Amino acid sequence: MTGDREREADLIVGFPAVVCRSVNDTAALAGVLAGEVRGGLVIILSGALGAGKTTLTQSMAKALGIPGIKSPTFVTESIHRIPNHDFDLVHADLYRFSSAPSGSDTDLQFTEYLSGPRGALLIVEWGERWMPPDDRWNISIASPDDGSGRRSFVMSACGDDASRRMSRAYEAILDLCALPRGGKV
């Protein structure tokens, strides 16, 4: 098992952190990321309570044409039709679970969403509690306790297509901000 995890780690492409100073900056970041998503992609969001996982998801959904989504904490997941796209957005929240082991009902349902006729985009808050497929983005969000509203986003991708898409998104983020690599928004 350790060998498999080591091989998987070799396939992950990481990017320098991006720091957003406001909710508007986070919305701009989300808009760029939304431009590179597709059906069958999994986005794993991690971070402490209040770090901004739901805010990032809501901003991505809005950029995709889905206004006003809420966190699905008490229902595990919610499905949203994306206008003018051939895939749906499934927004999941695993906060209430200590894990979602492979073969669980949650795991099987997520797999069905990804491989179903519309091949959903799956965004999973607290996704580190689940063993996702290889084709994914990992976004870790941190927020200092200083009341500044800043958020740090550390992004990585696993899988060839997911890595290419994240690379394009990261380059667009740098262009949008007109900043050197590893800069702050």
Chunked into runs of 10 residues, the chain (185 residues) has average pLDDT values of 42 88 91 95 94 94 91 75 92 78 63 82 90 89 82 94 95 72 50
d(CA 117, CA 63): 23
Q: What is the CATH number of domain 2-177?
A: 3.40.50.300
Which residues lie across from 13 on neighbouring strands? 157
d(CA 1, CA 8): 11
Instruction: Give alpha helix (H) positions in 98-159.
Output: 105-115
d(CA 158, CA 183): 23
pLDDT score, position 97: 73
DSSP single-letter state for residue 48: S
pLDDT score, position 58: 95
Measured from the Cβ of residue 172, the count of other Cβ atoms closer than 10 Å reads: 16
C-alpha distance from residue 43 to each of 3, 19, 21, 40, 182 (Å): 24, 19, 22, 10, 21
pLDDT score, position 90: 93
| Residue-range domain boundaries for the chain | 2-177
